[in-house]
Structure 1
């Protein structure tokens, strides 16, 4: 009977009033799409689900309060049998005594969210929370609407790149392996016998546009993103990069009336956009995925009037006559009175040739969220000790049998937030190995094994599993060498660092540079690309916003300049 439903929402609560109110509201609002199961005790759940044909469980809502003092224990036990479901504490409003146990459980990864039981009919705060739970559950399980269909080889670097780009841009995507029955049927239905893979079908187009092994530019053009720019236009501001800093800058600039163009070579969000869950960003007490946070900021900037130009990257910067010209990878150029460089950074490469050759085939840089479901039944190794590595390990633990975090240092305390360390230590299928380094490995079509060296003893062991590498970042500033002052690692120098007299190029004006101003007046840097920046999403957004204050001051100086 459960085959016509998206899944089940199971309520387990001994307290009658909140249980009845919750079940009533769930059935009224979601009953057409989800089986709503009500139980007083956890032991009733298997039979109740069996009566509906054992549909997959989207979420468990477990009571917590005087009648359910063991509610968190019950939820943990239920979740262990259905790891794909979300564990949600159900509490009465005003039950403040439940707050500390809930926060502790969230920190330790033993709970996903909490909701207040509905107080009356059409309790929209309750339904907003439930909708977010169901959306997250659907994202974890996959499926649903497929605006784009891709048929290709699972471990093809090109297919992986396109999947990652579309997932990061929140494009509803269905992927099918070309050799699978479904993949073969789709290709046959398209009349393709020996296509160049991957094949991308844009179902949201009336004509269902079909692309074979498309380039990024071809995808952008098919999506309608390849909009020509007016070569005579002079923007108040060009923002280079749509990560947290660039999005912060574009929101504030456009909202304050500046004509704003944003250039993004890949997907909105930068490295932060690949984080499965950010729990320390202000305003989101139960956390938010980096992807959702970035895409919401993108929509906000777009709504205020920012223009976005995708799949092109800046290649050169020239400044003359108070204007700045950016040459782009598609052969065009844009002109602006000010520039904010929010280029972010790319993942540092491991530098082992045998492993570099297997990138995308068992060796992944970054969180590679789109590949997480394919890790079921595998042993995954996450290399890195920062927050991004911790977040990736937590996310991958929902799919992989075992996750091992590999760290060069003695521990994680100096590089990772405390809440993440505690969560890693609490999750049963995650372990942490310190003072180790990956030094070799190999495979033919997929990573078969890799070599791990103990940095204290020098002993080497051979391990089998999949590698996710998050080992620091490198700024994307090679194209600015000789144009803007950089530190020895390539990060852009700004503000007082330019007054040392030792930067190349040197600061050229009598006035001091602005806090985020680079060695070229009117060109600013924000976020991870800036030397000495704090590598946090909130600080990057803040720098993007601060940059606009400096942009206004620079524009005002241009207006008041003599002549």
Structure 2
């Protein structure tokens, strides 16, 4: 890839020279800084860069310019440099205009002038925007290559694991791509060997397990220490927050995650109501930032292992993992979250992973280009997924069991769905049957009166309910009838008589096994929101400190 460009535009020659100088000093080794002193000049520069095939990572424009304003430049940049990040430099009096631009043109960030000192006010903002751009535009020269059948459940699992762990890969469909057949023949692979995973400078993997795949990619699959202060089970928002606060406060900390950091929130196309991000951010972006932050403070992450049990060994809590692996810690935070509930429909199990999916990552959305997609669910996660799928699919049909979306979805999402021309909402319906030869081909829908209708469908995404997976906790950790973990003062209720045995009362997030805490969606009566999960994860570390100080 040619060195990406950063375009700056300001009609004040002194300011224009200053910002270009600052950006060259800080980012000049990796990026080409192009300077313009008017909106018209900036548009000419964008035209020239497009003709040269030069990627544009960032456009930073002053708002108050005669002729062509900064917002007009950034609006045109969406066509001339698709995917570039946008930064508006503005005075305090223009903040209303900047906030409107977030909704109207998708402005990424606005920065009040002046930005001195740049080390504190300019560079961190620009660095974040450039990091996001790099994440969205990876260098594909060293990509992992995956050869398989798009209707194969194992191929789907491999692609999902790579995407959610931010490993760039190229996909070759054995039924559609001649290159896929060539690679299969070169590897001497048969049908049972698919998917093939070709790792640069590594051995070819044949239908690898998740653990084998993680090991081949150099992802962490083993703990580095014999004993930790804190072991966190689950790498969603609650677990990552606990890792950041635990490691930053001096606790030796390890996270165990079965699939990939981020949890259910990591699959969200957009989280628009998270404090401090007025434009919103994707679940993948939030996860990437949180993992980097936790790693910076020294937290370890162990991937691709399933937790099978939890034992109390005196003052130590032992977490038993698949493959006979164990991690010992003085305290444990359970942050395993929840997963989407299985859809009770005839024929569904045989087609899961073959056109029927729980949740949806960006890779699935892009593979639906030009197709008709069905989606079951009516909560915020379903709404965000529908809007994301609508960017690619010819038509998205939401199947909603209730009478309307309003009862379970935020108003801002309902408004956007109603305004989307390619999204149709079918209320009072449910999916009762699925059929297909090797992959999904049709669905059976039923309305409230019992009338059934069969529709053609190649894609179904399911976003219903919330089920915790907590059987591995054993009898020492009290759960309710649905598997949610009981914590704090709820342990003292008559319904759980005898669950708490110590003289002191349990800490707020503490389970019935002292030293084991629960945070986020897995906990009984939690709010089921990203912000509350992050708060509980941080709070659990405060309680861990109190517990460790008392033992």
Smaller-chain TM-score range?
0.7 to 0.9
On the 8 A contact 1:152/1:176 being kept in 2, the answer is: yes
Distance 1:363 1:452 in 2: 15
Distance 1:72 1:426 in 2: 24
- Which residue pairs with 2:158 in the alignment? 162
Instruction: Judge which range, 322-331 or 58-67, deviates more.
Output: 58-67
On the 8 A contact 2:10/2:61 being kept in 1, the answer is: no
Distance 2:445 2:66 in 1: 51
Distance 1:357 1:8 in 2: 49
Instruction: Judge which range, 285-294 or 55-64, deviates more.
Output: 55-64
**Would the alpha carbon gap of residues 465 and 181 (structure 1) be closer, same or farther in structure 2, given more than 3 Å must change?**
closer
Q: Aligned ranges for residues 137-536 of structure 1 at < 5 Å?
A: 144-179=140-175, 180-187=177-184, 191-194=187-190, 196-203=193-200, 207-224=201-218, 225-227=220-222, 233-455=226-448, 458=451, 460=453, 462-503=455-496, 506-536=499-529
TM-score normalised to structure 1 length: 0.81
On the 8 A contact 1:75/1:87 being kept in 2, the answer is: no
Q: CA deviation at 1:166?
A: 1.4
Q: CA deviation at 1:449?
A: 1.7
- Per the alignment, in what secondary structure is the counterpart of residue 299 of structure 1? helix
**Would the alpha carbon gap of residues 267 and 501 (structure 1) be closer, same or farther in structure 2, given more than 3 Å must change?**
same
**Would the alpha carbon gap of residues 229 and 67 (structure 1) be closer, same or farther in structure 2, given more than 3 Å must change?**
closer
- Which residue pairs with 1:113 in the alignment? 108
**Would the alpha carbon gap of residues 260 and 65 (structure 1) be closer, same or farther in structure 2, given more than 3 Å must change?**
same
Distance 2:61 2:375 in 1: 32
Distance 1:386 1:136 in 2: 27
- Which residue pairs with 1:549 in the alignment? 542
**Would the alpha carbon gap of residues 49 and 118 (structure 1) be closer, same or farther in structure 2, given more than 3 Å must change?**
farther
Q: Aligned ranges for residues 62-73 of structure 1 at < 5 Å?
A: none
Q: CA deviation at 1:215?
A: 0.7
Root mean square deviation of aligned Cα: 4.1
**Would the alpha carbon gap of residues 477 and 324 (structure 1) be closer, same or farther in structure 2, given more than 3 Å must change?**
same
Distance 1:130 1:358 in 2: 45
Distance 2:385 2:14 in 1: 36
Distance 1:370 1:438 in 2: 24
Q: CA deviation at 1:290?
A: 1.4
Q: CA deviation at 1:462?
A: 2.4
**Would the alpha carbon gap of residues 53 and 474 (structure 1) be closer, same or farther in structure 2, given more than 3 Å must change?**
same
**Would the alpha carbon gap of residues 19 and 450 (structure 1) be closer, same or farther in structure 2, given more than 3 Å must change?**
farther
Distance 2:138 2:429 in 1: 35
On the 8 A contact 1:364/1:468 being kept in 2, the answer is: yes
Distance 1:510 1:187 in 2: 65
**Would the alpha carbon gap of residues 18 and 199 (structure 1) be closer, same or farther in structure 2, given more than 3 Å must change?**
farther
- Per the alignment, in what secondary structure is the counterpart of residue 151 of structure 1? strand
On the 8 A contact 1:157/1:361 being kept in 2, the answer is: yes
Q: CA deviation at 1:527?
A: 0.6
On the 8 A contact 2:58/2:86 being kept in 1, the answer is: no
On the 8 A contact 2:272/2:281 being kept in 1, the answer is: yes
After superposition, give the CA deviation of every residue in 1:6-39 in whole Å (9 maximum; x if it has no partner).
999999x998989998998999879998999999
Distance 2:32 2:397 in 1: 36
Q: CA deviation at 1:530?
A: 0.2
Kindly indicate whether residue 47 of structure 2 is the aligned counterpart of residue 52 of structure 1: no
Q: CA deviation at 1:349?
A: 0.9
On the 8 A contact 2:444/2:452 being kept in 1, the answer is: no
Distance 2:227 2:4 in 1: 53
Distance 2:60 2:441 in 1: 41
Distance 1:26 1:465 in 2: 52
On the 8 A contact 1:485/1:519 being kept in 2, the answer is: yes
Distance 1:9 1:452 in 2: 51
**Would the alpha carbon gap of residues 531 and 359 (structure 1) be closer, same or farther in structure 2, given more than 3 Å must change?**
same
Distance 1:167 1:217 in 2: 15
Distance 2:444 2:13 in 1: 58
On the 8 A contact 1:5/1:35 being kept in 2, the answer is: no
- Per the alignment, in what secondary structure is the counterpart of residue 323 of structure 2? coil
- Per the alignment, in what secondary structure is the counterpart of residue 541 of structure 2? helix
Q: Gapped runs of 5+ residues in structure 2?
A: none
On the 8 A contact 2:399/2:426 being kept in 1, the answer is: yes
After superposition, give the CA deviation of every residue in 1:150-206 in whole Å (9 maximum; x if it has no partner).
222222211111111111111122222235122234445x54354711111222xxx
On the 8 A contact 1:201/1:208 being kept in 2, the answer is: yes
**Would the alpha carbon gap of residues 201 and 160 (structure 1) be closer, same or farther in structure 2, given more than 3 Å must change?**
same
